[in-house]
């Protein structure tokens, strides 16, 4: 993998072993995440994959793992401009990333949405069960009067 150095520290362009390029440009106040030092035991391909796996779900300010997209637009044939917001510290930022990064982010967001829907369903079912139990108890103890309806 080849990394191009730019005068702008908030911009990174990575060339993967396959030849595909990923460009990440951080605008506004959200700092770019710092890539960890590569593990010397990793192969060059694994190092490339690790460096290219920029996680858009992690806030660059407070490390909250729930960064959300606010707006997005195409920024070229293989790039997207995303406006992101952290629900924890309210940091806002705009990034330009390649399709691969957006595809991964979209998958993570879909999994999160499914988990939220599952949790909501369980909560609603639990609430209904509790409500039925209370209504049944009230009926058994003649606590429900015609005036209640």
Which one-letter DSSP state was computed for residue 140?
Answer: H
- pLDDT tens track for 74-127: 888 888 899 999 999 999 888 888 888 888 899 889 998 999 999 999 998 888
- Identify the pLDDT of residue 33: 43
Handedness of CA 93, 91, 84, 21 (dihedral sign): positive
CA 92 to the chain's CA centroid: 14
Which of 14, 23, 26, 19 lies closest to 76, judged by CA? 23
Distance CA 16, CA 70 (A): 28
- Identify the pLDDT of residue 75: 85
- Identify the pLDDT of residue 118: 92
- pLDDT tens track for 9-32: 556 665 655 666 666 665 554 444
- Identify the pLDDT of residue 3: 42
- pLDDT tens track for 28-73: 544 444 444 444 544 554 444 334 446 888 888 888 989 999 999 9
Phi-psi region of 147 (alpha: psi -120 to 50; beta: other; left: phi over 0): alpha
Domain boundaries, the chain: 2-148
The reported pTM is 0.52
């Amino acid at each position: 993998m080849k990394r191009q150095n730019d005068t702008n520290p908030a911009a990174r362009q990575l060339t993967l072993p396959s030849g595909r390029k990923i460009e990440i440009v951080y605008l506004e106040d959200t700092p770019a995440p710092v890539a960890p030092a590569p593990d010397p035991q990793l192969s060059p391909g694994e190092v490339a994959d690790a460096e290219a796996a920029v996680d858009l779900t992690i806030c660059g300010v407070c490390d909250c793992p729930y960064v959300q997209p606010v707006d997005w637009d195409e920024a070229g044939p293989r790039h997207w401009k995303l406006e992101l917001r952290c629900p924890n510290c309210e940091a806002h930022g705009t990034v330009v990333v390649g399709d691969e990064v957006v595809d991964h982010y979209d998958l993570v967001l879909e999994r999160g949405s499914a988990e939220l829907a599952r949790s909501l369903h369980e909560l609603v079912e639990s609430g209904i069960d509790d409500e039925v139990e209370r209504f049944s108890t009230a009926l058994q103890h003649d606590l429900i009067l015609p005036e209640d309806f």
